[in-house]
Amino acid sequence: MNQEKALVVFSGGQDSTTCLFWAKKQFKEVEAVTFNYGQRHVAELDCAKEIAEDLQVPHHILDMSLLNQLAPSALTRDDEAITQEEGELPSTFVPGRNLLFLSFAGVLAKQISAKHIITGVCETDFSGYPDCRDIFVKSLNVSLNLSMDEQFVIHTPLMWINKAETWEMADRLDALQYIRKNTLTCYNGVKGDGCGECPACELRQRGLNEFLQSNKGGEE
């Protein structure tokens, strides 16, 4: 196990919770950071707090409400519906959001003396955010190191895997049932298996079904 400290960018959703379990297996000391930007549902923040507590991970919550000023969208305002046109970014898109989150995570990592930063971004995701791509994360890693004269290592354990494989990883970490029950991915704020109707639930459920079918003979 790596004796150095790690900071996980953590939302309380399936992906970042899987990353938190992953980090706890890899690193002796793990802390988590959650960004509060006026999420559509306060439940998201509560969910993140509960999970951090369950896993006994020190939890930092940073206020990023300025994102609302920069890009009011369906994700942060209750009066707009979430829509996604074929081949376009969803209306929840806040340009550069991950750039900001990862940069702030870098500053926090410096302050808590964490060398490793873990983020659950992924290129196989449906969303196509440019600042979630591998090339961007690598470039920001270099920039963070130059900006603070550090040797940070940004880890992206989910970068090249799909939702079914993320469930498989959760299973290998003995966290499948925990993540299934306690994380929040749903746009309508329903924990666990969610509302079953929004795009986030569909994606999550499809991945879970795919994993469970390929894993017959397992626990379920």
Residues making contact with Zn ion (CB under 5 A): 186, 188, 194-195, 198, 201
The response to whether 125 counts as a known ligand-binding position is no
156 is in an annotated binding site: no
Taking the C-alpha atoms of residue 199 and residue 192, their distance in angstroms, rounded to an integer, is 15
Under DSSP, is residue 14 helix (H, G, I), strand (E, B) or coil?
helix
Closest CA to 176 of 154, 207, 132: 207
Q: How far is the CB of 220 from Zn ion (least distance, A)?
A: 21
Q: Which is nearer to Zn ion, 13 or 157 (CB)?
A: 13
Q: State the nearest-atom distance from the C-beta of 57 to Zn ion, in Å.
A: 26
Cβ-based nearer residue to Zn ion, 64 or 186: 186
Question: Looking at beta carbons only, is 43 or 57 nearer to Zn ion?
Answer: 43
Question: Closer CB to Zn ion, residue 95 or residue 189?
Answer: 189
CB of 180 to Zn ion, least distance (A): 14
Given the complex with Zn ion, which of 157 and 194 has the nearer CB atom? 194
**Does 183 appear as a known binding residue?**
no
User: Which residue, 64 or 208, is less far from Zn ion as judged by CB?
Assistant: 208
> Which residue sits closest to Zn ion, CB atoms considered?
186
186 marked as part of a ligand binding site: yes
Q: Least Å distance between CB 199 and Zn ion? A: 8
- Least distance CB 28 / Zn ion (angstroms): 36
Q: How many CB atoms lie within 10 A of CB 84?
A: 15
Q: Is 46 annotated as ligand-binding?
A: no
- Nearest distance in Å: CB 161, Zn ion: 22
214: annotated binding-site residue?
no
In single-letter form, the type of residue at position 216 comes to K
Is 34 marked within a binding site?
no
Which residues does 145 contact at the CB level (< 8 Å), separation at least 6?
151, 152
Known binding-site positions for Zn(2+): 186, 195, 198, 201
Known binding-site positions for ATP: 10-20
Known binding-site positions: 10-20, 186, 195, 198, 201
